Amino acid sequence: DTAVSQTPKYLVTQMGNDKSIKCEQNLGHDTMYWYKQDSKKFLKIMFSYNNKELIINETVPNRFSPKSPDKAHLNLHINSLELGDSAVYFCASTPSVNSPLHFGNGTRLTVT
């Protein structure tokens, strides 16, 4: 059984479009994250939710909007996609900050 699953695995779209990436975890964790990994492999935290409430919102353009309908899901919606949004986006969850992160397999977003 997949613990943290992201869909889609690949997403190719044109500039200006709006797209969503979904994330679900079946681990019962309270905290979920979105990370962006750029072409240099640098992982940057974007958002964190704890039990459906936003607790971390880094300096991310407001074109990015996370949504957590329940504590098992944290979706990422991106409006007006730009070339610089091309990256791999990872969802992760953890029961607490002192526990390891469980990662999804990533969504490779390519904006053309």
Residues of the shown chain interacting with another protein in the complex, contacts defined by CB under 8 A: 31, 33, 35, 40-45, 48, 50, 55-56, 90, 92, 94, 97-98, 100-101, 103-106
Smallest gap, in angstroms, from Cβ of residue 10 to another protein? 11
Cα(74)–Cα(90) distance, integer angstroms: 11
Between 87 and 92, whose beta carbon lies closer to another protein? 92
- Within 13 Å, how many C-alpha atoms sit on residue 49's CB side? 23
Smallest gap, in angstroms, from Cβ of residue 43 to another protein? 4
Between 15 and 55, whose beta carbon lies closer to another protein? 55
Q: Please, are residues 73 and 80 in contact by the beta-carbon 8 Å criterion?
A: no
Q: Which of 64, 75, 70 shows the shortest CA–CA distance to 23?
A: 75
Query: Is residue 66 reached through a cis peptide bond, with omega within 30 degrees of 0 on the bond before it?
Result: no
Between 74 and 92, whose beta carbon lies closer to another protein? 92
